[in-house]
């Protein structure tokens, strides 16, 4: 019986049998994997915490045949503040949902794992919208769907926050309105994504421009992966 110890973030749980759950774990060491956990829906179960959304813990798994089972877990961080505020809760769920949609079993997921833990931690005390945008950009990049926030990809001219632009879903990049045939979008969305990338941008990002940027990211993730992103839609509705 093979034993595996991993640092992981619990990104999805499905009820199974009478009292069990099947967890999707995003691990630093072993990519994304699925593992059963027994008895956690019983009152007072010792490992109940390990089957809760965005639990960050060191999990000990055993492998029998092709299946992993969690036999032990010690919590590293519970991100308690995220459970006390409904907006933060949905933003955190959006992180897990996107991490799940944008990571693939068998791949190294360490980059997306660390970005998710960093985002959840920053959301506890800060502005969850901007942290969510930053995380989605990293997760998209790590999945091979990075978004370009430089000059117009057709004519090469610089784009501005005041301009009407287009976003091309196939290439994940912006063009001038006249240059491309992607969906129309505002310069404010482009400007907000540049701010999230730590690039030069104009002025402060507003709540409205962050909301627009999140809408664009949701459409783009759905276009690339078919993921529904229900948590992200709910978060956008709330803010
Ligand atoms: Zn152009």
pLDDT tens-digit map of 160-182: 999 999 999 999 999 999 999 99
Residue 2's pLDDT is 84
Q: What gap in Å lies between CA 115 and CA 110, rounded to an integer?
A: 8
Note down the domain range covering 232.
85-238
Judgement on whether residues 103 and 62 belong to the same structural domain of the protein? no
β-bridge mates for residue 235, sequence order:
none
CATH number, domain containing residue 22: 2.40.50.140
* CA 179 to ligand 1 center in whole angstroms: 5
Judgement on whether residues 110 and 208 belong to the same structural domain of the protein? yes
Residue 1's pLDDT is 76
Residue 167's pLDDT is 98
Residue 11's pLDDT is 97
Judgement on whether residues 34 and 95 belong to the same structural domain of the protein? no
The two beta strands, 32-37 and 56-64, are unpaired
On the CB side of 113, how many CA atoms lie within 13 Å of its CA? 23
What is the rounded average pLDDT of the residues 50-69?
95
Judgement on whether residues 166 and 234 belong to the same structural domain of the protein? yes
- CA-nearest of 80, 75, 76, 77 to 124 is 80
**Total domains in the fold of the chain:** 2
Compute φ and ψ for 206, nearest 5 degrees. -95, 165
* CA 157 to ligand 1 center in whole angstroms: 6
What is the rounded average pLDDT of the residues 139-156?
96
The alpha carbon dihedral of 199, 137, 135, 127 has a sign of positive
Average pLDDT, the chain: 96
Judgement on whether residues 91 and 56 belong to the same structural domain of the protein? no
SS3 69: strand
Q: Are 183 and 189 in contact (CB under 8 A)?
A: no
CATH number, domain containing residue 109: 1.20.1440.120
pTM above 0.85, yes or no: yes
* CA 225 to ligand 1 center in whole angstroms: 28
* CA 199 to ligand 1 center in whole angstroms: 20
Last residue of a domain, one of 77, 106, 128: 77
Judgement on whether residues 40 and 96 belong to the same structural domain of the protein? no
Judgement on whether residues 65 and 99 belong to the same structural domain of the protein? no
Last residue of a domain, one of 55, 77, 99: 77
Judgement on whether residues 123 and 40 belong to the same structural domain of the protein? no
* CA 155 to ligand 1 center in whole angstroms: 4
Q: Are 136 and 225 in contact (CB under 8 A)?
A: no
Judgement on whether residues 104 and 173 belong to the same structural domain of the protein? yes
Q: Give 213-237 pLDDT, tens digit per residue.
A: 999 999 999 999 999 899 999 999 9
Judgement on whether residues 70 and 100 belong to the same structural domain of the protein? no
SS3 33: strand
Helix residue ranges, H only, the chain: 86-101, 110-125, 128-142, 187-196, 207-225, 230-238
Residue 162's pLDDT is 92
* CA 149 to ligand 1 center in whole angstroms: 13
Judgement on whether residues 93 and 12 belong to the same structural domain of the protein? no
Residue 139 pLDDT level (bands cut at 50, 70, 90) = very high
Residues bordering ligand 1, an ion, CB closer than 5 Å = 152, 154-155, 176, 179
Q: What gap in Å lies between CA 50 and CA 70, rounded to an integer?
A: 9
Judgement on whether residues 6 and 91 belong to the same structural domain of the protein? no
Last residue of a domain, one of 77, 98, 126: 77
- Distances from the Cα of 27 to the Cαs of 5, 8, 10, 55, in angstroms? 10, 4, 9, 12
Q: What gap in Å lies between CA 213 and CA 51, rounded to an integer?
A: 31
């Amino acid at each position: 019986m093979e034993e595996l110890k991993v640092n992981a973030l619990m990104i999805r749980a499905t009820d199974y049998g009478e009292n069990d759950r099947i967890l999707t774990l995003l691990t630093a060491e072993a990519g994304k994997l699925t593992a059963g956990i027994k008895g956690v829906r019983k009152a007072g179960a010792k490992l109940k915490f390990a089957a809760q959304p965005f639990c960050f813990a060191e999990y000990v798994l055993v492998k029998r045949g092709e299946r992993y089972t969690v036999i032990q877990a010690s919590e590293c961080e519970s991100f308690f503040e995220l459970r006390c505020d409904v907006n933060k809760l949905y933003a955190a769920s959006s992180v897990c949902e996107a991490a799940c949609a944008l990571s693939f079993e068998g791949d190294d997921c360490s980059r997306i794992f660390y970005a998710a833990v960093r985002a959840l931690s920053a959301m506890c005390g800060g502005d969850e919208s901007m942290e969510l945008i930053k995380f989605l950009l990293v997760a998209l990049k790590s999945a091979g769907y990075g978004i370009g926030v430089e000059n117009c990809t057709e004519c090469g001219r610089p784009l501005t926050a005041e301009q009407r632009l287009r976003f091309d879903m196939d290439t994940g990049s912006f063009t001038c309105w006249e240059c491309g045939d992607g969906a129309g979008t505002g310069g404010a969305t482009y400007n907000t994504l540049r701010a999230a990338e730590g690039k030069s941008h104009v002025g402060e990002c507003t709540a409205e421009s962050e909301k627009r940027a999140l809408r664009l990211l949701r459409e783009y993730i759905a276009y690339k992966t078919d993921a529904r992103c229900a948590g992200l839609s709910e978060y956008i509705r709330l803010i």
